[in-house]
Structure 1
């Protein structure tokens, strides 16, 4: 065989299609032969039991009709059976092993069940039929044997082996056909996944695995993979957006630092002036570092790094503690802080993160609600959740921007003149999601209402 032919055979043997067809065919043939063999053996067992029962009944009938277990009593009965029961084999021998009645040749006087390789009715060369019977030793030293033709059992065995051999061929053909069909279905689906993956790798992030509409496990797996691809697409788009936002937001503080340093180098400045320039540079660098710190914390929150650092918390007590330093701030801003806190069931959470989330919402309300505004903070139970609401009557947010403000680095036009990096609400949302809760923005007419809903914990420590 040429090397090309050998390589083709190796590729065929190594292919998934060949392995699927081979395994399916072997399994199919083995299963078919097992069922066929068990069925045939069961049929043989039933036929054997029937033969044994028939012979036993015939022997008992002989002794019952004779009224004794000796040659004298059995002789007329056996002679009558020979004439009227042609389907049976009978043999009656005296104590000298001389045949006195029956339709068989001489047998050795062996008691019990017997299988005879030939019928003994005629010489062996003329009759090859098997016989099953039972031998009885008589009280006077004689011997009595009654049997029946067992050739149907032999034919059944022969038919079984013939069926097995032909079954191997038939089941083998069906197994190969079924394996090819299974291979086509599975490998076609796998190739569809492979084509989709290669298309995504080439940059077509919107490509998805086509569903067959059967609703089976393959469709369910395809849906899961499509969801994974969609999530990856969203993450990559988010990464592109974050990269663009970082490049945009980091340019300003770094450019200012560069300008300040250029001015410091170009101009003759006194020591106090140099220190002032350095102080400004440090402020801008701190702003840049704050952005990186916030992004790092967001990444940790989204990866679940903080999930193990939880404790049982009373949100009423926690919110009351967060509000403590803001009373003076609100008073300085000529604002009013209205607090409504009622007892709630404990939750399990991270104290520092939840304090930061509540503080971010309060600071946003103070910053964007303006003077003479009213800021309301309330804590109350709602079913299996604890709700924390921070509301104000300030400028608010347009309804179409409710989802957008949770994106990273998003700052609406009305907040451009305020300090910040556009990551506050993104952090709040990540913290709330980490605790299995939700945050919802709504119109306070006027102003904005932020509602945090956190699941309570039952006594066994399982989230409600």
Structure 2
């Protein structure tokens, strides 16, 4: 940002020497491979895990409902079959009683008394006082009320040489003469079958849930792996490496179709970007020469004596405008080169704290001429792996921007501190600041606030800083300093990156 005047020219000349010195130090050794570092990212909320969990729950509930329905329907069928058998036997006995009275019924019960061994049938005919008349039960079961139609109870019976408790289901009917007839059947086999069905149901649900869990985890892991690969490639592309492409697998699924379409789009963008960059670079270089020649001619003309004052003033103004055009052009070229460099940027270990202190000392005389306090507060040494020249240019732009807008008698403070795995560079002032609504767009090229239209400048200073931060995979924030503006840049200290590419020290 050109500010006119001898002090401003001397400061800019000194700054240029610092940057050129940094560039010479950088050119001393170039790395073979350069890549971006990562910045802290918020923890992902894994939608694939939630989807897999939802699938497992729905599948488990569905299987449980199906198997439960099968179990209860099977148990109902077995109960109905048992009840039908008992009803048929009761009807036959009632018919015998109706035809031949009590003697016929007793004779029939005596003939069927051994039915327990063959069919598990249970019979008992008792008087109203409970005295047994006929049947294969010794007495009326104590837990059974005569006034229930259907009952279930247990009896002890000999089975395989031992006494075994057998469940029995029976029907009770009242006969004329206050006699009670109990007819039932052994349901031990049915109970065992129901128990096996329950066990099979539980094992079926467990196996189904296990298979669903394994499938869900496998699916979630596969989707997560593919998403991470796409995210890593996108991070590399955003860092300027437009030659990267999304991975395509032989599965030919929806992800591969999307990756193929995106890769075609990236090829088109890369071609257009390269064409635009080449055109811009050519235009910028072609404009530099005539601008430089015009500047030299004006400066030579100013050396001649006898020029009229109005002519000299006009030529001085023209020279100032040429300075502004040259600086704007140079800054635009720097932004374009910074955004387009990607992996071919020479890097080294840069002591940002020492660099900031050096530049603060360089700008203190100019700040003092405007009665502005310019100080450094922070660590004595703090290093990152990056491009020294570009980092120096970013610090210069932040200091110039602060000094430019802070009113006379104001204060500017630079700070560099290492916190954990990141380095924080801040430049704070007590000037007018930037409204919160304008902080995002002020980082775009040529964006200026309406209140600053009368200030000399092109609105590219913070844009260049943002481009340098993007190249170094860093973040830049514009915050309220209460009052004034606080610019915070957070650069990663670690060399490793998520894509497996690292800055390599020469």
Smaller-chain TM-score range?
0.3 to 0.5
TM-score (structure 1 length as normaliser): 0.44
Q: Relative contact order, CA 8 A, sep 6+: which one is greater? A: 2
Task: Give TM-score scaled by structure 2 length.
Answer: 0.41
